[in-house]
């Protein structure tokens, strides 16, 4: 069942088209991650959904009811939408219990009981109820911010880069805890993030934004493996882009003949391989398929520049397991697993 529906949303700030015909559907209980380059309109979109901005055109439907269009808007506090921002925005002078209970119309004992239950839910110790935000770590503050947003039992939760201020380990742990809380509560969630790995791990629907509109929306694996264009491919992770001549399901590339899934396409194009499809093995003596012309050691992997043989030399960079690869000048055999992707 559809919970959130955005139809052709437009929003201008002066001459800047922050949103330019945004269309999106989120089903009940789903987790959507929105990714895109800086300035593409992600935060503006969340602010429109939350009710902090009004659209110039288009409409927002929540549970089938129109909550905003250019003419009329349901006020933010009546939308039943929770929001957690990058810095949590806790009230610094209030204790954890008062932060969580803020805005709840209930007696103190009821607020305390609800805060205590929510603290449990986000995996924090009850001893923290009396603390002020500056007595908590960054990860703990974000969990309290989530508890506060959950207190009003929102239909929809908006997360605007809520983990970005946390360091790597804490970030992963907090994200996992938050994801579990939201999916246990069955709350439909929209996450905006700059971290593509986070988006792929968190979401069951990935929406890639560019220039104020979505260029691709789909299951994270589908979007990662079959991006609509090279820019999306590169944005979502390491991509090896190869010039190709394609006929009847086969692509002639600098890496040899590769299978492609599209049996109809014919002609010159660029095809995509993800690095996990490529295996690189050092060969002693003999020619191999290419030579390592640059190498940056990075522990478990090395980032190498591979230059392929043939009359027209072709190079690309890729991370490879470091165990077998020693130094620039190593000759290597290259294997490819699975089909190359042709952009539609
Ligand atoms: N209040 C405003 N007044 C004028 N321009 C604005 C305003 N808010 C956003 N913009 C512009 O609208 C565009 C979209 O901004 P937005 O903050 O939505 O992008 P974003 O994708 O969230 O960026 P980032 O990833 O850097 O946070 C940008 O060009 C921005 O400069």
Domain boundary at 195, 230, 265, which? Answer: 230
pLDDT exceeds 80 at position 285:
no
Of the candidates 78, 94, 166, 87, the residue with the CA atom closest to the CA atom of residue 130: 94
The domain spanning residue 160 has which CATH number? 3.40.50.300
Q: Which of 13, 53, 165 to mutate to test the pocket of ligand 1 (most atoms within 8 A of CB)?
A: 13
Of the candidates 119, 166, 113, the residue with the CA atom closest to the CA atom of residue 143: 119
* Chain CA centroid to CA 286, Å: 44
Minimal-distance CA residue to ligand 1 atom 26: 38
Domain boundary at 230, 249, 280, which? Answer: 230
C-beta separation of 91 from 102 below 8 A: yes
Q: What is the pLDDT of residue 175?
A: 82
Task: Say how many domains are in the chain.
Answer: 2
In which band, very low, low, confident or very high, does the pLDDT at 67 lie, cut at 50, 70 and 90? very high
Tell me: do 243 and 150 sit in the same domain. no
pLDDT exceeds 80 at position 126:
yes
Q: How far apart, in whole angstroms, are the C-alpha atoms of residue 31 and residue 314?
A: 41
In which band, very low, low, confident or very high, does the pLDDT at 15 lie, cut at 50, 70 and 90? very high
Of the candidates 92, 84, 96, 49, the residue with the CA atom closest to the CA atom of residue 162: 84
Q: What is the pLDDT of residues 154-171, one digit of tens each?
A: 999 999 988 877 777 777
Minimal-distance CA residue to ligand 1 atom 8: 44
Tell me: do 190 and 294 sit in the same domain. no
Q: What is the pLDDT of residue 88?
A: 67
Q: Which domain, by its residues, includes 256?
A: 238-342
Tell me: do 100 and 189 sit in the same domain. yes
Q: What is the pLDDT of residues 296-327, one digit of tens each?
A: 999 999 999 999 876 568 899 999 888 888 88
Domain boundary at 210, 230, 250, which? Answer: 230
Tell me: do 208 and 316 sit in the same domain. no
Q: What is the CA radius of gyration of the chain?
A: 24
Tell me: do 188 and 277 sit in the same domain. no
Helix %, strand %, coil % of the chain (to 5): 25, 40, 35
| Section 113-136 average pLDDT | 88
Q: Does this complex have an ipTM over 0.90? A: yes
* Ligand 1 pocket, residues with Cβ under 6 angstroms: 13, 16, 18, 36, 38-44
């Amino acid at each position: 069942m559809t919970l959130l529906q955005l139809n052709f949303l437009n929003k201008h700030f002066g001459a800047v088209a922050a949103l330019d015909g945004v269309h999106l559907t989120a089903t009940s209980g789903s987790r959507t991650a929105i990714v895109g380059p800086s300035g593409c309109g992600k935060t503006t979109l969340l602010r429109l959904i939350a009710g902090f901005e009004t659209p110039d055109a288009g409409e927002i439907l929540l549970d089938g009811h129109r909550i905003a269009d250019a003419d009329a808007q349901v006020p933010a506090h009546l939308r039943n939408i929770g929001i957690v921002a990058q810095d949590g925005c806790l009230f610094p002078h209030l204790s954890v219990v008062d932060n969580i209970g803020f805005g709840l119309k209930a007696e103190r004992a009821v607020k305390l009981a609800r805060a205590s239950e929510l603290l449990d839910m986000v995996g924090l110790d009850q001893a923290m109820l009396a603390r002020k935000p500056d007595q908590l770590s960054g990860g703990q503050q974000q969990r309290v911010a989530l508890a506060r947003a959950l207190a009003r039992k929102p239909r929809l939760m908006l997360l605007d880069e809520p983990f970005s201020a946390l360091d790597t380990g804490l970030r992963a742990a907090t994200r996992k805890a938050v994801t579990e809380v939201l999916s246990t509560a069955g709350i439909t969630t929209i996450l905006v993030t700059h971290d593509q790995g986070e988006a792929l791990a968190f979401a069951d629907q990935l929406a890639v934004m560019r220039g104020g509109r979505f260029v691709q929306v789909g299951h994270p694996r589908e979007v990662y493996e079959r991006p609509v264009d090279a820019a999306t491919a590169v944005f979502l992770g390491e991509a090896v882009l190869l010039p190709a001549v394609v006929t009847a399901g086969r692509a002639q590339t600098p890496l040899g003949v590769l299978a492609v899934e599209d049996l109809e396409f014919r002609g010159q194009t660029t095809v995509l391989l993800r690095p996990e499809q490529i295996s690189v093995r050092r060969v002693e003596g003999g020619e191999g398929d290419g030579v390592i012309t640059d190498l940056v050691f990075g522990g478990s992997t090395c980032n190498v520049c591979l230059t392929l043989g043939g009359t027209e030399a072709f190079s690309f960079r890729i991370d490879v397991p470091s165990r077998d690869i020693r130094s620039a000048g190593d000759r290597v055999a290259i294997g490819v697993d699975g089909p190359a992707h042709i952009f539609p």
